[in-house]
Amino acid sequence: MKQPDQHLSATGPLRLLLVEDSADDAVLLVQTLRRAGYEITHRRVDTPEEMRTALEQGPWDLVLADYYMPRFSGLAALEIFREKGLDLPFIIVSGRLGEDAAVEAMKAGAHDYVMKDHPKRLVPAVERELREAKVRRDRNAERQRSEEALKAERRRFHDVLELLPAGVMLVTPDYSVLFANRFFRERFGECTEKPCFESLFKLDTPCQACETHQVHSASTPLEREDTAADGRNYHFFYYPFTDSDGAKITLVMGVDITERERAEAELRQHREHLEELVRQRTREIEDRNARLDAEIADRKQAEEALRDRENQLRALNETLEQHVTARTAEVQSQAEQLRALAADLSRAEQQERKRL
């Protein structure tokens, strides 16, 4: 079953389905529309079977249906028309239609009705309904595009959630799980079949301090760290979330921090080991510095002792030099005396020889 074209001018080609038992009346309707500028392609049916076949073989731009027919009726045609779900004008055109019947037809889904003895109303009614049908189709097309875009966006969002290296879960106020991504499913099974506290923590009742309940009550994000049913540690984030239908749910995100905590513990141990090595090395350096300070003090003391000894020796040397100088002067004096005595003796001998 085909839908009509999306772009239809006020005049121009018009595919018309006539539900009419009178061939003459059908000709008059076609002529009226052709005089208004429409290029009519039409088909006339007057039984339910023919109408179903014609609707299947469409597309059509307009349906004009008589209200009273020997083997069919406008209301029965309208019911078949609505079963097909087509969005195009359906106008009742009848020679005799009471007010009650007209109201009934409009309530049943007819877009308008025109009396055959007032043909001038046909063209304005057709033009108006064609315009409104186009507007509806455009709106429906836009809504369909928006819905498809939304579905595509949701699919992308779903794919992203499935690939996240963290758990994501949507939880209702009664702890039912609406959605759990692959991360959570692989670790805790099909979470949507059990309450969140049973899936994540293997509990028979809600957690004593249930963040989900607190988030729903206060509409404030919360977070905590806990050990889940798989024995691993998680950092859980709880965010209040409103679904598209206005229902309040909680988005739960769980990040596995087990390896991070192990790494942090190893890092702490390594840091403590390094700190102990630093303290030990510091003590060694302090001890070495103390020994060096003692050696330096001893060396200074020895140097001071050497300087004192040097001063003593210098003073002793000066004293010795003074004694030597004095002794030398004394010796020289005695030598001079000896030389004078020897000279005296020599002269005395010479005089003695002369005398003898």
pLDDT at 4: 46
Average pLDDT, the chain: 87
Residue 4 carries which DSSP code?
P
pLDDT (average), residues 191-215: 80
| Sign of the C-alpha dihedral computed for residues 215, 218, 221 and 226 taken in this order | negative
Residue-wise pLDDT for 237-280, tens only, equals 999 888 877 888 888 999 999 999 999 999 999 999 999 999 99
What dihedral do alpha carbons 233, 239, 240, 244 form, nearest 10°? -100
Query: Packing angle between helix 74-84 and helix 99-108, nearest 10 degrees?
Result: 10
Confidence band (pLDDT; 50, 70, 90) for 219? confident
pLDDT at 285: 93
Across 301-329, b (16+ Cβ under 10 Å) vs e yields: eeeeeeeeeeeeeeeeeeeeeeeeeeeee
Q: Which pTM was predicted?
A: 0.50
Distance between CA atoms of 30 and 12, rounded to whole angstroms? 13
Residue-wise pLDDT for 136-180, tens only, equals 888 988 998 988 998 888 889 889 889 989 999 998 888 889 899
pLDDT at 98: 74
Task: Say whether pLDDT at 195 is over 90.
Answer: no
Domains of the chain listed by start with CATH number: 12-147 (3.40.50.2300), 164-256 (3.30.450.20)
Distance between CA atoms of 121 and 92, rounded to whole angstroms? 12
Residue-wise pLDDT for 285-340, tens only, equals 999 999 999 999 999 998 898 898 889 888 888 888 888 888 888 888 888 888 88
Q: Which residues make Cβ contacts (< 8 Å) with residue 222, sequence separation at least 6?
A: 211, 214, 215, 237, 238
Q: Closest Cα to residue 170, out of 103, 111, 215, 202?
A: 215
Element (H, E) at 225: strand 222-227
Q: What pairs with residue 94 in β-bridges?
A: 115
pLDDT at 120: 87
Determine how β-strand 62-65 pairs with β-strand 12-19.
Answer: parallel
How far is residue 316 from each of residues 172, 173, 328, 331, measured CA to CA in Å? Answer: 108, 108, 18, 22
Q: Which residues make Cβ contacts (< 8 Å) with residue 53, sequence separation at least 6?
A: 45
Distance between CA atoms of 112 and 106, rounded to whole angstroms? 7
Report the amino acid identity of residue 258.
Answer: T
pLDDT at 344: 84
Task: Say whether pLDDT at 194 is over 60.
Answer: yes
